[in-house]
């Protein structure tokens, strides 16, 4: 359970992996994962391969990350969503705000 961040300096990319339930309890860890990166240049990959569940507060956290990168849909990619997680992202139409897949 939890959020881990790996920094790939070469690609100036941060990979944030969420494990288990992606809900409000991850709020702090998720924020920690990107707050020290440069919002202007870093790309982010949110890897949800190990996320079992995602609720609306997690959608809110993704919106905060989106705000952090200046609302550029290409700078945040969401990958690896399982069926339940993908359903929530699809219902929220988050493919209009992020690169999903």
Partner 1 sequence: MQASPMPPEPLAPDAAGCRGESLGHRPRSALVVEPDPAQAELIAAVLREQGCLSAQVATAEAAIADFDRRRPDILFIAADLPGMDGLAATREIKRLAAGRFLPIMLLAHKRDEALLLSSVESGADDFLLKPLEPGLIKARIMVMERVCELQHRVSERKRTIAAMLENERVEQALAERVLSRAVEERNVVMDRLDLLQRSAAIFSGDIVLTQHLPDGGLRLLVGDFTGHGLAAAVAALPIADAFHAMTVKGVSDISLLTELNRKLFQLLPTDRFMAAILVTVPASCTELRWWNGGMPSGWLRTANGLRELTAHALPLGILPDLPCDEVARRVHVRRGDRLLLMTDGLLEAHDTQDEMFVHAGLRQSLASWAPGMPLLPTLREALDAHLAGTEQADDIAIVDLPIEPSIFARRVRLSGQRPRVGWDVAIVLEDERLKSQPTLETLLDPLGLAEGLRKEMVTLETIFTELYSNALEHGVLKLDSSLKATSEGFATFYRERARRLDDLRGARVSVEIRFEPSGEGGCVWLRIWDSGEGFSEESVRALWSDPARPWGRGIPLARELCDTLEFQGNGSQVEATYRW
- Tell me whether residue 7 or residue 50 sits nearer to partner 1 (CB atom): 50
**What is the rounded (10 degree) CA torsion for 66, 69, 70, 75?**
-80
The CB-of-2 to partner 1 minimum distance in angstroms stands at: 19
The CB-of-10 to partner 1 minimum distance in angstroms stands at: 30
Q: Which residues bind to partner 1, rule: CB under 8 A?
A: 24, 55-57, 59-61, 63-64, 67, 84, 87-88, 90-94, 96-97
Distance CA 43, CA 51 (A): 20
The CB-of-47 to partner 1 minimum distance in angstroms stands at: 20
- Tell me whether residue 13 or residue 52 sits nearer to partner 1 (CB atom): 52
Q: Report which secondary-structure segment, H or E, holds 79.
A: strand 76-79
Give all strands (DSSP E) within 2-63, no chain letters.
Answer: 2-8, 13-22, 43-47, 51-54
């Amino acid at each position: 359970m939890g959020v881990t961040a790996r920094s790939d300096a070469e690609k100036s990319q941060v990979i944030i992996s969420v494990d288990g339930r992606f809900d409000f309890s991850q709020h702090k860890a998720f924020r920690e994962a990107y707050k020290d990166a440069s919002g202007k240049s870093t790309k982010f990959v949110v890897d949800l391969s190990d996320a079992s569940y995602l609720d609306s507060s997690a959608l809110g956290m993704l919106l905060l990350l989106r705000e952090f990168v200046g609302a550029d849909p290409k700078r945040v990619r969401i990958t690896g969503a399982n069926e339940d997680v993908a359903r929530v992202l699809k219902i929220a139409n988050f493919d209009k705000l992020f690169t999903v897949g």
